[in-house]
Structures are given as structure tokens and as C-alpha cells.
Amino acid sequence: MIIQHSNDGSFGSGVLIDSNTVLTAAHVVRAEQGFKQAMVNFAQIGTEFDTSEPFRMIDKVIVHPNHQMNQDYYCEGVDLAILKFSEPILDIAPVKLYSAAIKDNTQGYIVGYGAGGKSNIGKTDDAHIRGMGTTRISKSEGNYLAYNFDPLLHQPNMVPSTFKVTQTTDKLQSLPSGRDSGGPFLLGKGSDLSVAGIAHGGSVFYDQETDSIPGATFKWIAIKPHLEWIRANM
């Protein structure tokens, strides 16, 4: 699901968890204070996004109480927010909330514009808008699910000092790209998918020459520690 602001065309991502409820990243909605509507585009896994969808009115924006936004609009704390639509969405099935523990090296799906590559060379030349990709969680610990694009160049500034990643392979991998913030990390098979994490940010930014090179660390906010808050606001 793509959340596009009506005033300037900027966008982020999110995931439908109830007929009128979207789970996203807090920094996606807090970067634009007070917006009241968003263009929500839907796609089944592996298909193109439908950009013909109209703007849908947002009734309420609920930001996690432990979220903090710094002066650069980069979120600290619990980077989660909930959007409530004025009218339910009846033609798209919401995903379930993943409540089990996640083991290190668990493979799942990420949805969004995305980028692909290999851990030993970084983003490949043919990387393009992908819609869906597979990746593995290098480490699941507490508030975060982390993925390291290269096990040799760990970026400690973006994850807790105790957050060590495990060895990965050089097989094709995917990681979120620009404007994928708020999008889901999904677990499951076929149509039976559950959201386990929400895209938060990485250790390299996409306007730099270090775009998706080996050494990039990306992390999702794990939803398991925050299920009570999410369910209370659905």
C-alpha cells in the first residue's frame, strides 16, 4: 500500500490490518503535519501498483506514544503509526498481525518499490521497481528486526551495540528502497501472510554514493512488542 500526500506528491508505504486501518511508520505521517487525506494504491504480491486509485479520506492519525522525531525528521523510539479511514475498504483483505517469536535468519517478504542485489556486490545493475522481494532477518531482538546487506561491514550507529548480525549468503537479496518506509515485512506462504515488522530506516541514505552497497543495514520495527497498542487502536 502506497500512502501519497495530497499536497506535494511525497509518499511512504503502509499495510492494511483492518478494513479501515493502516499500520505504517510514524515518520511517514509526522513529516507532513496535519494531512487529512492520502492516495492509497494497492497491489497483490508480485504485481504492479494501481496508480488510478482516488484519494481516500483519513479520519484519524494515531502515533505511538513512545515515538520521537528529531530535527531531521528521522524517527527514534517506536516508529509506528495507525491511519484510520473514514470509510472501510471492502475489496482488499487485511493481513494478520504476527504474534509469534521470530528466529534469526527467518525468510520473509518485503513489499514496496524496493531494490535488489547481492551481499558481496550490493545493488545490481538491473535493480528496478520490484513490488515484492524476499530477504532474511539477520537478527531479531526486542524492538527491531535487522538485516545487514553485508556481514563484513556492520553499521553500529543504526542499531544497538548488542545487536549483532549473523552471516548471510551471496544469493540475491532485497531491501527497502526510498519511500518504502512504513511498508511491511511479511511472514507466511501464499495468501496466508502476516505482518511482522514495519520498515523504519537504514544506515545509508539513497541520495548518497553509498546507495545499497555492502555494509548497508536496514531495520524494521517489530510489531510483536506493540501488539497491545496496535489492537487497542484498530
**Which pLDDT value is given to residue 97?**
97
* SS3 call for 3: strand
Q: Where are the domains of the chain?
A: 2-94, 96-225
**Which pLDDT value is given to residue 168?**
42
**Which pLDDT value is given to residue 143?**
85
**Which pLDDT value is given to residue 123?**
53
- Per run of 10 residues, the mean pLDDT along the chain (length 234 residues) is 57 85 85 54 49 69 82 65 87 88 84 56 52 74 76 38 39 61 85 88 51 63 95 95
Minimal CA–CA distance to 11: which of 206, 130, 178?
A: 178
**Which pLDDT value is given to residue 77?**
77
**Which pLDDT value is given to residue 46?**
42
Global pTM value: 0.75
Minimal CA–CA distance to 181: which of 131, 221, 146?
A: 221
CATH number of 96-225: 2.40.10
**Which pLDDT value is given to residue 219?**
84
Q: Do domains 2-94 and 96-225 have the same CATH topology?
A: yes
**Which pLDDT value is given to residue 72?**
45
The CA-to-CA distance between both ends of the chain, in Å, stands at: 17
Report, in angstroms and rounded to the nearest whole number, the Rg of the chain calculated over CA atoms. Answer: 17
Fold of 2-94: Thrombin, subunit H (2.40.10)
